[in-house]
Structure 1
Amino acid sequence: MATTGTAATAGTVTTGHAWERTDTGYTGVVADAEWAREIRRLADERDAVLLAHNYQLPEIQDVADHTGDSLALSRIAAASTASTIVFCGVHFMAETAKILGPGKTVLIPDERAGCSLADSITAEQLREWKAGFDDPVVVSYVNTTAEVKAETDICCTSSNAVDVVRSVPADRDVLFCPDQFLGAHVQRETGRENLHVWAGECHVHAGINGPELAERAAANPDADLFIHPECGCATSALYLAGEGTVPEDRVKILSTGQMLDAARETGASSVLVATEVGMLHQLRTAAPEIDFRAVNDRASCRYMKMITPAALLRCLSEGADEVHVPLDVAERAKASVERMIAIGTSGGGE
């Protein structure tokens, strides 16, 4: 059906849409109605279910079968009767889908879509860190590679990280990785002194800073604040509430899934959102009467945005790029993910 150019750097499909591979992603395709019809036709032809993360481009979210956070989508992938999973997100998310559904074909529209947070710790670094403690319990955020998950005792999401850490016996050292801001949130909530936090971060969330949040909150005194715990401004948000600058009930530290629930329940007419800007599309769809604004409108993940209309078209027309996880790694990683699912409310995701 598809023909590709030299070294798979260009291609066209029967509708006449043409794509081109560049260093920053696949380009050259407009997400019009014809494109959407072709995407749905190719998905049916390939027996594929399309999953889109909340941080994806709006046109990718709109054409998908399911949109949500990475763990919820991976659970949908595992339960799906489709033989092929197309995961519109970053690479570790597609890996998690493969771990939970090893018999399925898992595709990511651009295998170069990585994650700065997942890259902030390797399996070798984790093994070296563990070696410095006597029988520690490793709790890893789901935003990690399959190899790191395989070295982990229990994975967590931002919505159940506190419950996961509380489930560990009080006398055991806990090594929490890789996100230092989520780790700080867990430490505040649990008061645990033997919680050791890896100094990793998501470059997008870390860039949403406290002074910026304070300035936006002062300019919008009636707005609720929806703050993702990966953000560098989470501590500042709690400080603003503690000082009375912002009413305490307006400051909400939330996972992406929890943000959607809060959007449907809030009585506020405006909300300032501290997370990746792709989340605004889902929030505005869930509660169109509310004015949702980004705390930092530059907080866009270049890796998430590598999943372009051209990349998705190429993926479905060519069956690229397939994600593989070695069986021994997948088996060990699956155990840590399943322990996470059994503790607290993991469906709300990262």
Structure 2
Amino acid sequence: MTLKEDILKLKVEKNALILSHLYELDEIQEIADIVGDSYFLSKKALESTNDLIVFCGVQFMAESAKILSPNKKILIPSNETTCPMADMASLEKLEILKDKHPNAKIVTYINSNLDIKAVSDVCVTSSSAKNILANIDEEEIIFLPDRNLGEYLQEQNPNKKFILYNGFCPTHERIDKEEIVNLKNKYRDFKVLVHPECNKGVRDLADFIGSTSELINYSASSPFKGFIVVTEEGVLYKMKLKSPSKTFIKTTTGMICPNMKKITLENLYTCLLNEEYEIILHEGLRVKALKSLENMHRLSSK
């Protein structure tokens, strides 16, 4: 049997559900039961009848699934898949911002660790943030950890005053506007798709800005046949799957999140076999973090 066949056999034997983020390796996305953005996957874990969930993504994503599904066993195939941006947010630095802006609402990107979610008023995804912010009465917003997404949301919500935490995604931050200008000059009929975690200079050159899933859906529904894709390269697997006749160009620098690529078929198999690297959360923190996710659902559906 091949390794892929071994994984599928084990999955059936253990009644497990395999979830994969859109930035994972192609072979992980291919073998997964469900592929999508991080919070979408957490909701799918909650809705599933499986008691064993294997979450192929970075640590905060598996934590979010456990926050929503405390009675399910959530595994992650590698215990080295932290998120550099999520790790930039510290309670100490957040406390300083809170002391300076006591009336501000703490709005936290879903790309954050448990301890930060636990002290947040509401979490947002890159796709739900605009609606949520429109339903928040407070004028002052402490937004963390991503300054680029926060800046983008400030542009969309000029009536709010944003206090931006100085965090960023290294994968998106490394791209500069000159590189995109050069690509636009080379591929003149191609549309530029940009994730809001990129800096303003890059965002200003975009034809469409959106979350990972929004970029994929836009490329599939658009009448245009060529796209310059400015986000983590894992999305190209789904883009090509949905639009095999279209052309997708990567950035010259390359946009690869090394932590997303740490999950392989080998450690996925080992994880399933031994049921290792289970996500265990402090219950008090989990309950507090759950409130920020519940507020996200409530404010986004108003």
- Please point out which of 167, 174, 186 is paired with 1:200: 167
SS at match of 1:51: strand
Establish whether residue 235 from structure 1 lines up as the match of residue 201 from structure 2: yes
Unaligned runs of 5+ in 1: 1-14, 16-33, 242-250, 346-350
Contact kept in structure 1, 2:20 and 2:32, CA below 8 Å: yes
- 2:212 is aligned to 256
Contact kept in structure 1, 2:176 and 2:201, CA below 8 Å: no
* Partners of 2:300 and 2:15 in 1: CA distance: 33
Specify the code of the residue in structure 2 equivalent to 1:273: V
Unaligned runs of 5+ in 2: none
Higher CA-based Rg = 1
- 1:88 is aligned to 56
- 1:59 is aligned to 27
SS at match of 2:300: coil
TM-score with structure 1 length normalisation?
0.83
Specify the code of the residue in structure 2 equivalent to 1:259: L
- 2:225 is aligned to 269
SS at match of 2:102: coil
Alignment of structure 1 residues 1-350 onto 2, 5 Å: 34-170=2-138, 172-232=139-199, 234-238=200-204, 240=205, 251-296=207-252, 298-344=254-300
SS at match of 2:236: helix
TM-score with structure 2 length normalisation?
0.96
Show CA shifts across 1:58-88 (max 9, x none): 0000000000010000000011110111000
Distance apart, 1:236 and its partner CA: 3.3
SS at match of 2:80: coil
* Partners of 1:77 and 1:178 in 2: CA distance: 25
Show CA shifts across 1:284-312 (max 9, x none): 11111110111245211110000011110
Specify the code of the residue in structure 2 equivalent to 1:82: N
* Partners of 1:343 and 1:213 in 2: CA distance: 35
Give the CA RMSD over aligned residues. Answer: 1.5
SS at match of 2:232: coil
Report sequence identity in percent: 33
Distance apart, 1:320 and its partner CA: 1.0
* Partners of 1:340 and 1:323 in 2: CA distance: 22
SS at match of 1:117: helix
SS at match of 2:46: helix
Distance apart, 1:142 and its partner CA: 0.1
* Partners of 2:252 and 2:209 in 1: CA distance: 16
Show CA shifts across 1:30-58 (max 9, x none): xxxx1111111111122210000000000
Contact kept in structure 1, 2:175 and 2:253, CA below 8 Å: no
* Partners of 1:65 and 1:71 in 2: CA distance: 16
Specify the code of the residue in structure 2 equivalent to 1:114: T
Specify the code of the residue in structure 2 equivalent to 1:328: G
Distance apart, 1:193 and its partner CA: 5.0
Specify the code of the residue in structure 2 equivalent to 1:290: K
Shift of the 159–235 alpha-carbon distance from structure 1 to 2, 3 Å rule, reads farther
Specify the code of the residue in structure 2 equivalent to 1:225: V
